[in-house]
Structures are given as structure tokens and as C-alpha cells.
Amino acid sequence: MTLPELLDLLASMASESSEETAGLSDLDHGLQCAFELARARPDDPELQLAGLVHDIGHRFGPDEDHGVLGAQRVRDLLGDRVAGLVEAHVPAKRYLVTTDASYRSQLSAESTRTLAVQGGVLGADELSSFMSCRYAADALELRRADDAAKVPGRSVTTLDHWVPVLREVADTTAVGPRREADPAAGESPR
């Protein structure tokens, strides 16, 4: 997927009503999720973009596969971390339901319904697998932002705001994986 294709896809999501909440489009949901993550982690554009694009997989297949399908679509453009977070946001919901007795009651009706088709609570092997995922902690943060991003009429940054961020991450990905900052050399993380 190219950046113009992704932008077209995201823009088209403005006309798709969210199954989660009446009065909310799929694009509204992604924008709210990215906004939540920008507030929580202002120095982590990859996590923010994962919030923006986390549900694009709904356009390409069934709900139970949307994390994997979305990750496949964005991996070449936005890199392994964004793709890994998109893929992990579904098992993150399952992890939270498994490990936090109060979490299920916080889910929307649609998230509760989709939990069943996504596999419900994690079995012991699945729990171990999720906990060993290199993106697990960030996927949990993405999942909590996903839950908070369901407010009709909420004013957040627009898709235009995210274009330069998308371009920067895509340009960095095209060059290769991000190099970790070297604090000893006076470099700060991006």
C-alpha cells in the first residue's frame, strides 16, 4: 500500500458508520484513537499512527482477522512496529479480559460481541505468547486508547494533521528500520 492509497482509504472511512458507536465514523474512531495516544505518548509517532490505522483491516476481511489484515496492509509503508501494534490490538483486548476482571464490563456492546468471534479469553499458551510479544505493553496502551475513542462529536485533530506524520514514518521505513538513539552521543529518541 502506498501513502496516497492509505490516505484515500482513511478518507473513505469518513463515510462509514462505526459499528461501535452511533454518530461516529470509522475515521472518527481512528482519529480519536490517534489523538488519545498523542496525548499519552507525544514522542511516539509510530504508536499514534497505529491508533490511526488500527481498524483498516475491517475493509479487507472478517472482524476476527482485521488486526492481521490491517498489519499486512501497512507493514511495507509504516514498518514492523506499526504493523505489529495493529496486529496485537486484538489479542490485547483478549489479554485484558483474561487478566482484569473489571475490563469486560468496560467494553462497548460491539466490542463485547466481537470478543467472542476473536476468540474470547486467552488460553494459557495464548497468554504466554501475548506476554512475550515485543509490542505487548504498547498494544495494551493502544487497546485502552481504542476503548476511549468512541465519543460522537468529539473534536480532535483531523486527517490533514496526520499526513506529515505518516510521511515521516513512511520515509523512515523506506530507508530502513529506525536506529535507536545513543544517549552517550547526546542523541535523543525520535
pLDDT: which is higher, 176 or 19: 19
How far, in Å, CA of 73 to CA of 5, rounded? Answer: 10
> What percent of the chain is predicted at pLDDT more than 90?
62
How high is the pLDDT of residue 184? 39
How high is the pLDDT of residue 109? 79
Q: Are 137 and 166 in contact (CB under 8 A)?
A: no
How high is the pLDDT of residue 189? 41
**Per-residue pLDDT reduced to its tens digit, 26-73:** 999 999 999 999 999 999 999 999 999 999 999 999 888 999 999 999
Helix axis angle, 45-53 relative to 159-175, nearest 10°? 120
How high is the pLDDT of residue 84? 96
Quick one: average pLDDT of 123-139? 91
CATH class of 25-175: mainly alpha
Separate counts of helices (H) and strands (E) for the chain: 9, 0
In this structure, is the dihedral angle defined by the CA atoms of residues 61, 15, 74 and 178, taken in order, positive or negative? negative
Q: How confident is the model at residue 20 (pLDDT cuts 50, 70, 90)?
A: low
Q: What global pTM score does this model have? A: 0.86
How high is the pLDDT of residue 108? 79
**Per-residue pLDDT reduced to its tens digit, 69-120:** 999 999 999 999 999 999 999 899 889 999 998 988 888 778 888 887 888 8
How far, in Å, CA of 184 to CA of 173, rounded? Answer: 25
Q: What is the DSSP letter of 64?
A: G
How high is the pLDDT of residue 182? 37
**Per-residue pLDDT reduced to its tens digit, 152-188:** 999 999 999 999 999 999 999 875 544 443 343 343 4
